[in-house]
Amino acid sequence: MRIAITRPVSPSIVECQLTFQERQPIDFDLANQQHRDYEQCLVALGCKLDRLPAEPDLPDAVFVEDTAVVLGEVAILMRPGAESRRPEVRSVAEKLKTYRRLLRIEPPGTMDGGDVLCVGRQIFVGRSRRTNAAGIAQLQNLVQDYGYCVQAVEIRDCLHLKSAVTQVGRDTLLIDPTRVDPAGFEDFNRIETDPGEHHAANALLVGETVIYPRVHVRTRQRLENYGITIRTVNISELAKAESGVTCSSLVFES
Nearest distance in Å: CB 147, ligand GLY:
30
Nearest to 37 by CA among 213, 190, 200, 240: 213
Nearest distance in Å: CB 31, ligand GLY:
12
41 catalytically annotated: no
Contacts to ligand GLY by CB under 6 A: 16-17, 19, 60, 63, 82, 159, 241-242
Contacts with 240 (C-beta within 8 Å, 6 or more apart), sequence order: 21, 23, 24, 25, 26
Q: How many CB atoms neighbour CB 201 within 10 A?
A: 28
Choose the catalytic residue: 41, 118, 160, 199. 160
160 catalytically annotated: yes
Q: How many CB atoms neighbour CB 178 within 10 A?
A: 14
Instruction: Look at residue 92 and give its three-state secondary structure.
Output: helix
Q: CA 233 to CA 241: how far, in whole Å?
A: 16
Closest residue to ligand GLY, judged by C-beta, is 17
Nearest distance in Å: CB 114, ligand GLY:
7
Sort residue 8 into left (φ over 0), alpha (ψ -120 to 50) or beta.
beta
Nearest distance in Å: CB 81, ligand GLY:
8
Nearest to 162 by CA among 201, 206, 193, 119: 201
Give catalytic residues, as residue numbers. Answer: 160, 247
